[in-house]
A and B are shown apart, each in its own frame.
Chain A
Amino acid sequence: MATLIQPASDTAASTGPERHGLSDARLLELYRTMLRIRRFEERVKELFLEARLYGSVHLYIGEEAVATGACAALEEGDVISSTHRGHGHCIAKGLELAPMMAELMGKVSGYNHGKGGSMHIASLDHGMLGANGIVAAGIPISTGAAMGFWVRGSQEVALCFFGDGGANHGAFHEGINLAAVLKLPVVFVCENNQYAQYHALQQDLPIENVADRGAAYGIPGVVVDGSDVLAVYGAVKTAVDRARSGAGPSLIEAKTYRFEGHFLGDPEPYRTKEEVAQARASRDPIVRFSAALQQMGISGVERLQEIDDAVRADVETAVEFGESSPEPGPEILLTDIYSGADADGRESSGEKTEAEQVVPRDRVTEVASREVRAQGPQAG
């Protein structure tokens, strides 16, 4: 069975929250990151409702502690894979708000030049291997990134975010099993926000915890309070250190709650307003961390308010950047399909591929002049 990591608040009365060796500055940085996610998402919601932003948009509000705590446990060069609910992962991995917002608006100045949008936002330069429109698809991909590190013997770690719905996908089994048998440096973080689209998880999961499935692969399965950023950090840090040491993958289940619908516009017929209100009142990760920071004497209310004000200003700058950016033009519709080739896969003129460095011998006429014998289907 999965190990349960106790939330920080449970131990707060005696010793204060466990800060896992993080400095005051880093703790405040975690707070700032969570707020960046919250304020970005709130603004995205407003813009969507005002029809200033369009498409399929899935908000991360309520789950900020998971991305923030998990990404804080990573080092430079480590990579993440993400989900359809990926804005929080992007921000926690260090992507900038302005090109993110521009991407959500389909603008050419976006991270993907408007070709990806909310569900495919990515920045390989930041080690962010992409949001993903397909549930659980990031599990084999992050396993592959870890395989790449393992083959070349480098020290990076891959971290895979996926949802509770993804835990029932075939890619979950194939990917985690492959990672486990090869002891690849990857950490699987299940964000259990209780609902797979419109479906309550307990209807789809015949066991108590997704993390219990770790036992099936012989890897640690850990349940953590996903509303507690320090608890998430601690659990993921242990798993990342383990992965980097060569001991293989871990499965962490962060129990969290999706404050918003599955997508913007979701009428939420599957849960009551009271349930959502109760969750917002009792398990808001930002409220909790704010209280913890004050309790630890790291920051007063005023300092936290200053951080919030600065974050809101950053988000406004991002909105202005996105809205003032040009729409992509027809000249980029058919670019970026292939590397070094046109839309039909033909080598682009001027660009030399690696293959061209070896001059091919022209065998066409040689082969044409030679008799090629047909072989019967049973031969060989």
Chain B
Amino acid sequence: MPEATYSQALNMALREEMRRDERVFCLGEDIKDSTYGVTRGLYDEFGAKRVVGTPISEAAIAGAALGAAAVGMRPVAEFMYMTFMMCAMDQLVNQAAKMKYMFGGKAVLPIVYRTMAGAGRANAAQHTQSLEAWFSHAPGIKVVMPSTAYDAKGLLKTAIRDENPVVFIENKVLYATAKEDVPEDDYTVPFGKAAIRRQGRDVTIIGLQRMGEVALAAADQLAGEGIEAEVIDPRTLVPLDIDTIATSVQKTHRAVLVHEAHERAGFGAELVTQIVTHAFDYLDAPPVRLANPNVPTPFSRTLEELSIPSAAQVAEAVRTLLK
């Protein structure tokens, strides 16, 4: 089993699915040469009609994927940065998300909208914003956030085989830093099944994507103090595996939510509500959110790092919670 980065694992998924199903094709800006490597080499194997380079036209990319799906294709559209999806919101939310329902169920729309989010590369505010909550708010869209190379491949394959529009959020730091042995064989990771990344009895930390690593680092620190944190990676936000999360909180009685998106109305707010709904009687303290403190992401590396939760902050939040 070869070691692969998160980016390489995504590439494997695309290649395998394009070989498996001729209806699968990619479209997006600069995907032939692939700025971040995810689609690298696909053009050489599949040609210009399966790896369709487009102008810088996000609304057209989003709408073209929808139209192609409506006539039986399985497009995988790429938005280079998640912030660019704001240029395509009508096509994504007013059109793709609602079409099936508006049409009385008769549209089957297997579309993957791949994109990249997260902070940590000094891209500044217009190239750095995590909008998973926006898309989770739109009925008709599924929202996926892989955090490991293994999951990146398995979840992308599931997304491509899904019959719905899927916003597939990749992480710009994890592309290179997340690596592990990734099987070359055909496997999928199901939607709606959270991963327990670390088991513990004292507190449940739910970390979205790269914040899962921050949570694990905090858990390592806390372990030295005799505090055992359970760390959960939801993997998909829509559908959400609330069962795994609620079961954990019922055991630990405390919950900390960590994400890179802004705190206000972020997905953490939804998680808190779900936890309170499903595990209120088990909670020893109100759930705690750690997130971007409602500020556009600054350019300066120093400031950018301060704008996202750190392991030290997570550990401190847990200590306070346990007092």
Q: A residues within 8 Å of B by Cβ?
A: 79, 81, 110-116, 120, 122-125, 129-130, 132-134, 137, 139-153, 156, 158, 170-171, 173-175, 177-178, 181-182, 335-341, 343-347, 353-356, 358, 360-361, 363-365, 367-368, 372-375, 377-380
State how many angstroms separate the Cβ of A99 from the closest Cβ of chain B. 10
Cα–Cα distance between A331 and B228 once the two chains are bound (Å): 46
A173 to B69, CA, bound (A): 22
> Are A363's CB and B108's CB within 8 A?
no
Decide yes or no whether B251 CB sits under 8 A from chain A: no
Q: Which of B68, B108, B188, B220 contacts A148 (CB 8 A)?
A: B68
Tell me which residues across on chain B come within 8 A of A123, comparing CB atoms: 106
Structural contact, B188 and A355, CB atoms closer than 8 A: yes
A363 touches which of B119, B139, B195 (Cβ 8 Å): B195
Chain B residues lying within 8 Å of A378, measured Cβ to Cβ, are 120, 301
Q: Does B41 contact A (CB under 8 A)?
A: no
Contacts of A341 in B (CB 8 A): 142, 164, 239
A79-B71, A129-B67 as given contacts; A368 in contact with B195, CB under 8 Å: yes
Interface centre among B60, B139, B157 (most CB of A within 10 A): B60
Q: A141-B66, A337-B139 are in contact. Are A353 and B161 (CB under 8 A)?
A: yes
The answer to whether A177 and B197 touch (CB under 8 A), given A141-B67, A152-B22, is: no
Which chain A residue shows the least CB distance to B304?
A377
B173 CB-CB contact with A under 8 Å: yes
CA A365 to CA B199, docked complex, whole Å: 9
Chain A residue at minimum C-beta to C-beta distance from B27: A147
Distance in angstroms from A264 CB to nearest chain B CB is 20
List of B residues within 8 angstroms of A133 by Cβ? 94
Q: Does B279 contact A (CB under 8 A)?
A: no
Q: With A347-B192, A355-B161, A360-B190 known to touch, is A377 a contact of B64 (CB < 8 Å)?
A: no
Task: Tell me if B186 and A358 are in contact (CB < 8 A).
Answer: yes
Q: How far is the CB of B138 from chain A (nearest CB, A)?
A: 10
A144 touches B105 (CB 8 A): no
What are 11 sample pairs from A and B whose C-beta atoms fall under 8 A apart?
A115-B102, A130-B103, A148-B69, A152-B23, A336-B103, A338-B140, A339-B109, A339-B163, A343-B139, A360-B188, A377-B301
Which of B49, B58, B94, B109 is A134 in contact with, Cβ under 8 Å?
B94
Checking A116, A174, A338 against B164 with a beta-carbon cut-off of 8 angstroms, the contacting residue is A338
Q: Given A375-B213, A379-B176: A336 and B192 within 8 A (CB)?
A: no
* Residue pair A140, B91 in contact (C-beta under 8 Å): yes
B interface with A by C-beta (< 8 Å): 22-23, 25, 27, 49-50, 52, 54-55, 57-73, 75, 90-91, 94-95, 99-109, 119-121, 139-140, 142, 148, 150-151, 154, 157-158, 161-164, 173-178, 186-199, 212-214, 216-217, 220, 238-240, 301, 304-305, 308, 311
Q: Which residues of B contact A113 (CB under 8 A)?
A: 104-105
Which listed residue (B58, B99, B139, B197) contacts A367, Cβ 8 A?
B197
Which A residues touch B66, using CB under 8 A? 140-141, 144
User: Does the CB pair A151–B196 fall under 8 Å?
Assistant: no
Decide: B196 and A134 in contact? CB cutoff 8 A.
no
| Cα-based distance from A178 to B52 in the complex (angstroms) | 11
Q: A137-B63, A178-B61 are in contact. List 18 more A-B contacts (CB 8 A).
A: A110-B104, A122-B107, A144-B68, A144-B70, A147-B52, A151-B49, A171-B60, A175-B57, A181-B55, A338-B164, A345-B192, A353-B161, A355-B190, A358-B188, A375-B174, A377-B304, A377-B305, A377-B308
Closest 3 CB pairs of A and B: A144-B67, A140-B63, A380-B176
> Is there contact, CB below 8 Å, between B177 and A372?
no
Q: Nearest Cβ distance between residue A304 and chain B, in whole angstroms? A: 36
Q: Across the interface, which residues of B come within 8 angstroms of A140, CB to CB?
A: 59-60, 62-64, 66-67, 91
Partner of A174, one of B57, B189, B195, B305: B57
Note all chain A residues with C-beta closer than 8 A to B105: 113, 115, 335-336
Inter-chain contacts of A339 with B (CB < 8 A): 100, 108-109, 163-164
B67 touches A137 (CB 8 A): no
> In the complex, what residues of A have CB within 8 A of residue B60's CB?
140, 143, 171, 174-175, 177-178
B64 near A372 (CB under 8 angstroms)?
A: no
Chain B residues near A111: list those with CB within 8 A.
103-104
Whether B104 contacts A112 by the Cβ 8 Å rule is yes
Q: CB < 8 Å: which of B55, B102, B151 contacts A177?
A: B55
A175 to B95 CA separation, bound complex (whole angstroms): 15
User: Which residues of chain B are within 8 angstroms of A181 by Cβ–Cβ distance?
Assistant: 55
Which residue of chain B has its CB nearest to the CB of A354? Answer: B161
Determine the chain B residues whose CB is within 8 A of the CB of A360 once the complex forms.
154, 187-190
Enumerate chain A residues within 8 angstroms of B150, measured Cβ to Cβ. 363, 367
Chain B residues with Cβ below 8 Å from A129 are: 67, 70
Please tell me if the beta carbons of B162 and A355 are within 8 angstroms of each other in the complex: yes
**A171 pairs with B90, CB closer than 8 A:** yes
Please name all residues of chain B whose beta carbon is closer than 8 Å to the beta carbon of A354 when the two chains form the complex: 161-163
**Alpha-carbon gap, A79 to B66, bound state (A):** 14
A150 to B64, CA, bound (A): 12
The answer to whether B188 touches A143, judged by C-beta atoms less than 8 angstroms apart, is no
